[in-house]
Amino acid sequence: MKEIEGFLSLSFGIVKEIWVFLSLFFMPIPPAIEPSTTREGRYEITSSVGSETVNSFVPPCFPPRDEPIRLGELAREQERASIALGRLETATKILPERHLLQNVYIRKEALISSHIEGTQFSMHEVLQKEPTQELKKGKEFIRDWMEILNATEALEYGRKQLSNLPISGRLLCEIHQKLLVSSERGSFRRSQNWIGGSRPGNALYVPPLHSRIPDLLGELEQFINSTDNLPYLIKAGLLHAQFETIHPFLDGNGRVGRMLILLYLYSVGLLKEAVFYPSLYFKKNRTQYYDHLQKVREQGAWEPWLKFFLEGLAVTADDCCDTLLKVFDLFKDNDRKIDKSSGAQTLARIHNLLKKEPIIVRQEILKLGISSPTAKSAVDKLEKLGIITKRKDGREVNYIYTAYYDLLAKDTEPLPRDT
């Protein structure tokens, strides 16, 4: 069965590459079509391969002009999301170790975001320093695993760049370069892509022609960095949907688009620390997520999308806040246990390492300057205190901060393959 699945996957990839290659030679120059000032987009014939024509999407003007966003309909959802994010920020400030948690939370967001795209990794796998032997068997799996880990570097890079650069197409390309391991990384597409189906003719959605990307992204950049009367959370929802409509990269659009939500919230000061994973709500409601985005394109249904988006921010911020408070209590309880134990100083150093990395190996403890006999004695004590458990993976023994890991791993199960 696995061999058949692999053959079908390879065959589909070859067909897709041939289609993209041929479309470059049979692609006519489309007539100039001015964006509609109404909310509905439209399709244009942009290429043909054989007897089949390709109709790519032409978005209307952004943001909507003739029919501006009806903010009154969104007041309740906007208020709830604002309160939830404010509560999360307050909870973050009371946690002294918040700087230790950021890499772990970014990986959780990256993992959940990748689940939306169909990857099947667990939280345990992305917290490990090396891929398991089972993972090493397939190049595609290694690529996906690496891209989840790359998301930590990509988002941190984006956050640092915000102090020097506005959110722009250039910054998104640099983030894309750091995120992906494929050859198409770091640049906007120069051919047609599509979502769903085996070719553009039977796709669920065919994004705009690649020659339109510079103008569409220029419009998006101007919107992101403009001063207007739109609330920041409303703007975050608008820009995410528009980015997904443009779909400027051949691959990685969903992950970069969801990262864009976080970058925008950082840029306007609504988030200070990377302890928020907005993809969780989209993952749990993936069908509605895609349906809302498509209805924005075809029907201009911005208000229903924004209600969904704001509800997602509120629900997820509450979840993040509750988890942070539980982590705070857990750390305090275990600090007290360690203070009462012999060798407390060594145990505390290992405990602090575990706060940053809930799964560690012996070599990481030794890098703290702790001798091998002392390290063995310390992990035995931590295990007796109920703080860690040991798990053997191949030749390596992993030390797992059990209760902390369980809090982080909540809702990180992959989606069933048939969804």
CATH assignment at residue 398: 1.10.10.10
Q: Which of 416, 414, 401 is closest to 104 using CA atoms? A: 401
Q: Which of 76, 7, 108 is closest to 320 using CA atoms? A: 108
Q: Are residues 358 and 258 in the same domain?
A: no
| Residue where a domain terminates, one of 273, 294, 322 | 322
Cβ neighbors of 178 (< 8 A, separation 6 or more) are: 150, 153, 154, 157
pLDDT the model gives residue 396: 84
| Residue where a domain terminates, one of 297, 322, 347 | 322
Q: Which residues of the chain have pLDDT under 50?
A: 1-32
Look at residue 113 and tell me if it is in a domain: yes
Q: Are residues 368 and 253 in the same domain?
A: no
How far apart are the C-alpha atoms of 74 and 378, rounded to whole Å?
A: 54
Q: Are residues 135 and 75 in the same domain?
A: yes
Query: 202: which DSSP letter?
Result: G
**CATH code for position 193:** 1.10.3290.10
pLDDT the model gives residue 291: 97
Domains held by the chain: number: 2
Look at residue 309 and tell me if it is in a domain: yes
The pTM of the full predicted model, rounded to 2 decimals, is: 0.88
Number of H helices, E strands in the chain: 16, 5
Look at residue 50 and tell me if it is in a domain: no
pLDDT the model gives residue 37: 67
| Residue where a domain terminates, one of 322, 350, 369 | 322
pLDDT the model gives residue 35: 59
Q: Which of 342, 12, 85 is closest to 231 using CA atoms? A: 85
Specify whether the CB–CB gap between 382 and 347 falls below 8 A. Answer: yes
| Cα 285–Cα 9–Cα 199 angle in degrees, nearest 5 | 75
Task: For the chain, give the percent of residues with pLDDT over 70.
Answer: 87
Element (H, E) at 57: strand 52-58
Q: What letter represents residue 360's amino acid?
A: I
pLDDT the model gives residue 11: 43
Q: Are residues 317 and 368 in the same domain?
A: no
Q: Are residues 262 and 374 in the same domain?
A: no
Look at residue 299 and tell me if it is in a domain: yes
Specify whether the CB–CB gap between 44 and 30 falls below 8 A. Answer: yes
Q: Are residues 172 and 200 in the same domain?
A: yes
Q: Are residues 310 and 344 in the same domain?
A: no
Q: Which of 324, 267, 316, 311 is closest to 98 using CA atoms? A: 324
pLDDT the model gives residue 302: 97
Q: Are residues 236 and 384 in the same domain?
A: no
Residue with tokens 């946690």: 95
Look at residue 7 and tell me if it is in a domain: no
Look at residue 185 and tell me if it is in a domain: yes
Q: Are residues 141 and 198 in the same domain?
A: yes
Structure tokens of 243? 């980015």
Q: Are residues 248 and 152 in the same domain?
A: yes
Which residue range(s) make up the domain with 83? 70-322
Q: Are residues 312 and 344 in the same domain?
A: no
Query: 165: which DSSP letter?
Result: S
How far apart are the C-alpha atoms of 32 and 390, rounded to whole Å?
A: 64
How far apart are the C-alpha atoms of 222 and 212, rounded to whole Å?
A: 16
Look at residue 313 and tell me if it is in a domain: yes
pLDDT the model gives residue 254: 96
Q: Are residues 389 and 246 in the same domain?
A: no
pLDDT the model gives residue 133: 56
Cβ neighbors of 164 (< 8 A, separation 6 or more) are: none
Look at residue 194 and tell me if it is in a domain: yes
